[in-house]
Amino acid sequence: MFNAFIIICAYLIGSIPSALWIGKIFYKTDIRQQGSGNLGTTNTFRVLGKKPGIAVMLIDILKGTAAVLLPLLPLFADSTVHPLTLGIIAVAGHMFPIFAKFRGGKAVATSAGVILGYNLPLFLVLLAVFLISLKTTKMVSLTSMITATAAMIYVTIFWIVTGNFALFILISFLASFIFYRHRENIKRIKNGTEPKIKGF
Protein backbone atom coordinates (compact mmCIF):
# COMPACT_ATOMS: atom_id res chain seq x y z
CA MET A 1 0.00 0.00 0.00
CA PHE A 2 2.71 2.46 1.00
CA ASN A 3 4.71 1.60 -2.10
CA ALA A 4 1.77 2.32 -4.40
CA PHE A 5 1.03 5.58 -2.56
CA ILE A 6 4.59 6.89 -2.75
CA ILE A 7 4.80 6.01 -6.46
CA ILE A 8 1.59 7.93 -7.14
CA CYS A 9 2.91 10.90 -5.16
CA ALA A 10 6.17 10.90 -7.15
CA TYR A 11 4.22 10.89 -10.41
CA LEU A 12 1.91 13.71 -9.27
CA ILE A 13 4.88 15.82 -8.17
CA GLY A 14 6.51 15.30 -11.55
CA SER A 15 3.23 16.13 -13.28
CA ILE A 16 3.08 19.69 -11.92
CA PRO A 17 3.15 21.75 -15.16
CA SER A 18 4.95 24.79 -13.81
CA ALA A 19 5.41 26.38 -17.25
CA LEU A 20 1.72 26.04 -18.06
CA TRP A 21 0.46 27.34 -14.72
CA ILE A 22 2.90 30.25 -14.47
CA GLY A 23 2.10 31.26 -18.05
CA LYS A 24 -1.65 31.13 -17.53
CA ILE A 25 -1.83 32.63 -14.05
CA PHE A 26 0.69 35.46 -14.37
CA TYR A 27 0.87 36.12 -18.11
CA LYS A 28 -2.51 34.91 -19.42
CA THR A 29 -0.55 32.84 -21.93
CA ASP A 30 -0.67 29.17 -22.80
CA ILE A 31 2.90 28.48 -23.92
CA ARG A 32 1.75 25.24 -25.53
CA GLN A 33 0.38 27.46 -28.28
CA GLN A 34 3.55 29.48 -28.77
CA GLY A 35 7.20 28.86 -29.56
CA SER A 36 7.99 25.17 -29.67
CA GLY A 37 4.81 24.36 -27.77
CA ASN A 38 6.90 22.56 -25.17
CA LEU A 39 6.14 22.81 -21.45
CA GLY A 40 9.70 23.33 -20.34
CA THR A 41 12.30 25.86 -19.32
CA THR A 42 13.62 26.71 -22.78
CA ASN A 43 10.24 27.50 -24.29
CA THR A 44 9.31 29.50 -21.19
CA PHE A 45 12.42 31.66 -21.65
CA ARG A 46 11.55 32.17 -25.32
CA VAL A 47 7.87 32.96 -24.83
CA LEU A 48 7.61 34.59 -21.40
CA GLY A 49 11.10 35.86 -20.64
CA LYS A 50 13.95 35.47 -18.18
CA LYS A 51 12.19 35.70 -14.79
CA PRO A 52 9.43 33.16 -15.50
CA GLY A 53 12.01 30.98 -17.25
CA ILE A 54 14.16 30.89 -14.13
CA ALA A 55 11.10 30.21 -11.96
CA VAL A 56 10.05 27.27 -14.15
CA MET A 57 13.57 25.87 -14.18
CA LEU A 58 13.85 25.97 -10.39
CA ILE A 59 10.42 24.41 -9.85
CA ASP A 60 11.12 21.65 -12.35
CA ILE A 61 14.47 20.89 -10.71
CA LEU A 62 12.84 20.77 -7.29
CA LYS A 63 10.20 18.34 -8.56
CA GLY A 64 12.88 15.76 -9.22
CA THR A 65 14.63 16.43 -5.92
CA ALA A 66 11.38 16.24 -3.95
CA ALA A 67 10.47 12.88 -5.49
CA VAL A 68 13.85 11.37 -4.58
CA LEU A 69 13.56 12.63 -0.99
CA LEU A 70 10.01 11.36 -0.39
CA PRO A 71 11.22 8.26 1.54
CA LEU A 72 12.67 10.59 4.19
CA LEU A 73 9.18 11.69 5.21
CA PRO A 74 7.70 9.85 8.21
CA LEU A 75 4.58 9.16 6.14
CA PHE A 76 6.62 6.93 3.83
CA ALA A 77 8.85 5.32 6.43
CA ASP A 78 7.54 1.84 5.54
CA SER A 79 8.12 2.23 1.80
CA THR A 80 10.65 -0.05 0.12
CA VAL A 81 10.73 1.79 -3.22
CA HIS A 82 14.25 2.91 -4.19
CA PRO A 83 14.60 6.72 -4.31
CA LEU A 84 15.96 6.53 -7.85
CA THR A 85 12.84 4.68 -8.97
CA LEU A 86 10.80 7.56 -7.62
CA GLY A 87 13.02 9.95 -9.54
CA ILE A 88 12.39 8.13 -12.81
CA ILE A 89 8.65 8.16 -12.10
CA ALA A 90 8.77 11.93 -11.47
CA VAL A 91 10.59 12.41 -14.77
CA ALA A 92 7.89 10.37 -16.52
CA GLY A 93 5.31 12.57 -14.82
CA HIS A 94 7.04 15.67 -16.15
CA MET A 95 7.03 14.32 -19.70
CA PHE A 96 3.48 12.97 -19.50
CA PRO A 97 1.70 15.12 -16.88
CA ILE A 98 -1.84 14.22 -15.89
CA PHE A 99 -2.48 17.91 -15.18
CA ALA A 100 -1.66 18.94 -18.76
CA LYS A 101 -3.29 16.22 -20.85
CA PHE A 102 -0.08 14.15 -20.79
CA ARG A 103 1.78 16.69 -22.90
CA GLY A 104 4.82 17.85 -20.96
CA GLY A 105 8.43 18.90 -21.25
CA LYS A 106 11.69 17.22 -22.16
CA ALA A 107 12.71 16.36 -18.59
CA VAL A 108 16.14 17.98 -18.50
CA ALA A 109 15.54 20.15 -15.42
CA THR A 110 13.60 17.45 -13.57
CA SER A 111 16.34 14.92 -14.34
CA ALA A 112 18.86 17.36 -12.91
CA GLY A 113 16.72 17.60 -9.78
CA VAL A 114 16.75 13.83 -9.38
CA ILE A 115 20.55 13.83 -9.57
CA LEU A 116 20.72 16.76 -7.13
CA GLY A 117 18.68 14.84 -4.58
CA TYR A 118 20.70 11.63 -4.93
CA ASN A 119 24.28 12.54 -5.83
CA LEU A 120 25.38 16.14 -5.28
CA PRO A 121 28.94 15.73 -6.69
CA LEU A 122 27.53 14.40 -9.97
CA PHE A 123 25.06 17.29 -10.08
CA LEU A 124 27.87 19.84 -9.67
CA VAL A 125 29.95 18.18 -12.39
CA LEU A 126 27.02 18.18 -14.81
CA LEU A 127 26.13 21.76 -13.95
CA ALA A 128 29.65 22.82 -14.94
CA VAL A 129 29.42 20.79 -18.17
CA PHE A 130 26.02 22.31 -18.95
CA LEU A 131 27.15 25.91 -18.43
CA ILE A 132 30.37 25.48 -20.42
CA SER A 133 28.55 23.71 -23.26
CA LEU A 134 25.78 26.30 -23.36
CA LYS A 135 28.32 29.11 -23.46
CA THR A 136 30.05 27.35 -26.36
CA THR A 137 27.14 26.08 -28.45
CA LYS A 138 24.37 28.58 -27.57
CA MET A 139 21.90 25.70 -28.05
CA VAL A 140 20.03 24.37 -25.03
CA SER A 141 19.05 21.17 -26.83
CA LEU A 142 22.60 20.26 -27.85
CA THR A 143 23.88 21.27 -24.43
CA SER A 144 21.33 18.99 -22.77
CA MET A 145 22.46 16.03 -24.86
CA ILE A 146 26.14 16.77 -24.26
CA THR A 147 25.43 16.88 -20.53
CA ALA A 148 23.53 13.59 -20.71
CA THR A 149 26.52 12.02 -22.45
CA ALA A 150 28.87 13.39 -19.79
CA ALA A 151 26.60 11.90 -17.14
CA MET A 152 26.83 8.48 -18.78
CA ILE A 153 30.62 8.66 -18.83
CA TYR A 154 30.68 9.71 -15.16
CA VAL A 155 28.37 6.95 -13.90
CA THR A 156 30.11 4.29 -15.98
CA ILE A 157 33.40 5.14 -14.25
CA PHE A 158 31.56 5.48 -10.92
CA TRP A 159 30.03 2.01 -11.39
CA ILE A 160 33.43 0.44 -12.18
CA VAL A 161 35.08 2.08 -9.17
CA THR A 162 32.32 1.77 -6.54
CA GLY A 163 30.03 -0.95 -7.85
CA ASN A 164 27.01 1.40 -7.62
CA PHE A 165 24.88 -0.03 -10.40
CA ALA A 166 21.68 1.78 -9.34
CA LEU A 167 23.05 5.19 -10.33
CA PHE A 168 24.20 3.79 -13.68
CA ILE A 169 20.68 2.48 -14.37
CA LEU A 170 19.11 5.80 -13.38
CA ILE A 171 21.35 7.88 -15.64
CA SER A 172 20.86 5.41 -18.49
CA PHE A 173 17.10 5.89 -18.23
CA LEU A 174 17.34 9.67 -17.93
CA ALA A 175 19.81 10.00 -20.81
CA SER A 176 17.55 7.84 -22.98
CA PHE A 177 14.56 10.03 -22.10
CA ILE A 178 16.49 13.18 -22.95
CA PHE A 179 17.72 11.94 -26.33
CA TYR A 180 14.27 10.56 -27.19
CA ARG A 181 12.56 13.86 -26.36
CA HIS A 182 15.10 15.78 -28.49
CA ARG A 183 14.51 13.85 -31.71
CA GLU A 184 13.25 16.91 -33.60
CA ASN A 185 16.04 19.05 -32.19
CA ILE A 186 18.61 16.58 -33.53
CA LYS A 187 17.12 16.96 -37.01
CA ARG A 188 17.27 20.76 -36.77
CA ILE A 189 20.85 20.66 -35.48
CA LYS A 190 21.85 18.56 -38.48
CA ASN A 191 20.05 20.98 -40.81
CA GLY A 192 21.56 24.03 -39.13
CA THR A 193 18.13 25.41 -38.18
CA GLU A 194 18.17 24.87 -34.42
CA PRO A 195 17.51 28.20 -32.60
CA LYS A 196 20.31 29.62 -30.47
CA ILE A 197 19.87 31.57 -27.26
CA LYS A 198 21.00 35.15 -26.99
CA GLY A 199 22.68 37.04 -24.21
CA PHE A 200 24.49 34.10 -22.56
pLDDT in tens, 125-182: 999 999 999 899 989 889 999 999 999 999 999 999 998 888 899 899 889 988 998 9
What are the tens digits of pLDDT across the range 82-139?
999 999 999 999 999 999 999 998 888 999 999 999 999 999 999 999 999 989 998 9
**Tens-digit pLDDT profile for residues 22-68:** 999 999 999 999 888 888 888 898 889 889 989 999 999 999 999 99
* Residues 97 and 13: beta-carbon distance below 8 Å: no
At 107 the pLDDT is 85
Long-range contacts at 31-37 (CB < 8 A, ≥ 24 apart): 32/100, 32/103
pLDDT of 200 reads 58
Q: What is the pTM of this model?
A: 0.89
DSSP 4-23: HHHHHHHHHHHT--HHHHHH
What burial letters (b/e) apply to 29-54, b meaning 16+ CB within 10 Å?
bebbeeebebbbbbbbbbbbeeebbe
Is the pLDDT at 2 greater than 90? The verdict is: no
